[in-house]
Structures are given as C-alpha cells and as structure tokens.
C-alpha cells in the first residue's frame, strides 16, 4: 500500500514543463505565422506608442479623457507583450516547451493586465458619463488627483486576487499529458491537464470572472444608459452627433474585448471547442489591441490633428 502511494505521488509530480501545441499541426505555416504575428506586434507597438506620445506632449490633449487613453494604450502594449514575444519565439525556434514557473509567471501577468483592462475601460466610461451628464462639475470631479487615483486603482486592485488564483491553480497536481493545447498559459486549458477534482478551482475562476469582468461591464452599461438618456434630451442634433461620436470609439472597444473574453471564460466546459478557444484568446489579446489605435484615431478629430502635428 505504501509503495503504491509513493508511485502515485511520483506520477502526480512528474510534469515539470508544458508543451504548447498551438498551431503545431500546421508546421509548414510556422514561417508564415511568424511573419504575420511579427507585423501585428510591431503595429500594436507603433499604433499605441503614437497614442501615448500625442496624449503626453500635445497641449490640446491634456484632458482626463486622453490621460486615460494614454494609459490604456500603454496597458495594451504590456498586455500583448506577455504573450506575443513568447509565441514569436516558438514560431521561430519551433521549441514550444515552457517550464511550470515560466507558465505561472506568464499567467499571473496575463490575468493582472486583463483585470486592469476591464477596470480601466470602466473608468473611461465613468469619465464620459461625468463629461456628458455633469459637465459643470466635470473639472471638479475629474481633477488630476482623482484621475491618477482611478488609474492606480485599476492597475493594482486585481493583483492580490490574481496572484492567489495562480497559486491556487499551480498547487494542483499535473499528471499524465503535459501537452497544453493552447498558444499561451491560460486557465481553461490548464485545468484540463490537472488531476483530481478541479470543481473548486472552476468555481473560483467563475467568481473571479464575475467580480472583475461582469461587474466592470455592468458599470460601463450603467454609465452608457445614463449617457444615452442625456444625449437624447439635447436640443440640437449637432450636440447629439458630437456626444455620440465621443463615446462610440470606447463602445466599440468595450464590445470587442468583453464579448470575446466572456465567451472564452463563461462558456460551459462541455461546450468548449479547443479551436474556438484559441481564436477567441487571440482575438481579445492581440486583435483588439491592434485595432484600438485605429478605432480611437479614425473617429476622433482631435487625435487626427495631433498625429498630423506630430508627423510634421
């Protein structure tokens, strides 16, 4: 009996690294994928870097809305840098191995930055609510100190819980296969490789997603319901058009991020498709950050003018 327990413990702790399957079944496309994702990563850095520069140095953009936008662009660069460089390295070397520690670190930063994005999107919606619904009080409510506090709160609020979540997941025994059918270390594919009962972990993940995903989304929804109600009361069509134009960019980004992330995390485990999970993960971690600069710049005359001045 004792020898059986020793063998079981040995098997449970035998996994020391994971192997990303990713797109390994399409080995002939590795070079092509490396080129495509390299272009995407460079465009994310350049596009969001432009937003950071113009919101920092253009005097006409020294307002709370663009202060939040600059922080959001910096967050997008950090968010994609957690996963994309590792993916590019795997495509180039075709060595998809990652240690448990590296996987845990990647997941920790990925979750912390994902929570920060949810909270920062809620802060940006609140800023638009105050600007449109309480314009006379806007300079008082959204003063520089309050803006800094909101940004710092968005960055650090989720850290303790996400670190605890990662420790909880990696305290599970991993046995059997070490092949992670994903492109980076994420919770759903990792739980599939864990041994024993993972129901407590799944409940914890759902609670975490509700707290830091659904609650910010409901706050954003509440802000925009009030905004739309106020806009519809405006007497002039020009005023309505300008107010809708100011908010539409943020609404597009919110929709792209929350819809893809919600499907990925709230979809029942029995209905989860591996291929769909990969695509959705790539969508909210890579595609959305790539389009953010275009969404904000093409629909914002102030940003377009600032970019022209910077380029000239």
At 140 the pLDDT is: 92
- pLDDT value of residue 291: 83
- Residue 306's closest CA among 58, 12, 92? 58
Domain boundaries, the chain: 15-311
How confident is the model at residue 116, as a pLDDT? 94
- Given the DSSP bridges, would you call strands 179-180 and 97-99 parallel, antiparallel or unpaired? unpaired
The tens digit of pLDDT for each residue in 176-192 reads 778 888 888 888 888 88
The pairing of beta strand 179-180 with beta strand 17-20 = parallel
Give 179's strand partners.
19
- The predicted pLDDT at position 261 comes to 76
Nearest alpha-carbon partner for 110 in 266, 271, 254, 265: 265
Confidence category of residue 115, pLDDT binned at 50, 70, 90: very high
Residue 265: how many other CB atoms lie within 10 Å: 21
Say which range, 41-50, 142-151, 224-233, has the weakest mean pLDDT: 224-233
| Cross-strand bridge partners of residue 18 | 98
- Report the chain's mean pLDDT, rounded to a whole number: 82
State percent of the chain over pLDDT 70.
84
Q: Can you give the pLDDT at residue 1?
A: 42
Q: Is the pLDDT of residue 73 over 70?
A: yes
- Buried b / exposed e across 27-65, counting CB within 10 Å, b at 16+? eeebeebbeebeebbeebbebbebbbebbeebeebebbb
> What distances in angstroms separate CA 109 from CA 39, 147, 164, 214, one per listed residue?
23, 24, 12, 20
Find how far residue 251's CA is from the centre of its chain: 15
Query: What is the CATH topology of the domain spanning 15-311?
Result: Rhopdopsin 7-helix transmembrane proteins (1.20.1070)
The residues, ordered by sequence, that sit 6+ positions from 198 with a Cβ below 8 Å of its Cβ are 172, 191
Look at residue 24 in the predicted model and tell me its pLDDT.
62
Highest mean pLDDT among 69-78, 195-204, 302-311: 69-78
CB 69 within 8 A of CB 311: no
Q: At what angle do helices 237-266 and 288-298 cross, to 10 degrees?
A: 180
Give the pLDDT confidence score for residue 171 in this predicted structure. 86
């Amino acid at each position: 009996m004792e020898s059986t327990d020793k063998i079981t413990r040995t098997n449970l702790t035998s996994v020391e690294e994971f192997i990303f399957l990713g797109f390994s079944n399409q080995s002939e496309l590795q070079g092509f994928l490396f080129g495509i994702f390299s272009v995407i990563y460079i465009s994310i850095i350049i596009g969001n870097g432009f937003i950071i520069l113009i919101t920092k140095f253009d005097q006409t953009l020294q307002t709370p809305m663009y202060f939040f936008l600059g922080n959001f662009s910096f967050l997008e660069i950090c968010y994609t840098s957690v996963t994309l460089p590792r993916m590019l390295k795997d495509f180039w070397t075709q060595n998809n191995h990652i240690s448990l520690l590296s996987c845990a670190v990647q997941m920790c930063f990925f979750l912390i930055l994902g929570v920060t994005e949810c909270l920062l999107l809620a802060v940006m919606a609140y800023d638009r609510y105050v600007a449109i619904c309480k314009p006379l009080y806007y300079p008082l409510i959204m003063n520089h100190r309050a803006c800094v506090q909101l940004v710092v709160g968005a960055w650090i609020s989720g850290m303790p819980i996400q670190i605890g979540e990662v420790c909880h997941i990696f305290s599970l025994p991993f046995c059997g296969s070490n092949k992670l059918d994903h492109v980076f270390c994420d919770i759903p594919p990792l739980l599939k490789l864990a041994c024993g009962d993972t129901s407590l972990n799944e409940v914890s993940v759902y609670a975490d997603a509700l707290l830091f995903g659904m609650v910010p989304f409901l706050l954003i929804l509440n802000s925009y319901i009030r905004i739309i109600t106020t806009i519809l009361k405006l007497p002039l069509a020009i005023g309505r058009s300008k107010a809708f134009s100011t908010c539409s960019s943020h609404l597009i980004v919110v929709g792209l991020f929350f819809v893809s992330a919600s499907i990925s995390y709230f979809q029942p485990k029995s209905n989860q498709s591996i291929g769909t999970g990969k695509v959705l993960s790539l969508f909210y971690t890579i595609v959305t950050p790539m389009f953010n600069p275009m969404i904000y710049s093409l629909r914002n005359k102030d940003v377009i003018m600032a970019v022209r001045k910077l380029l000239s």
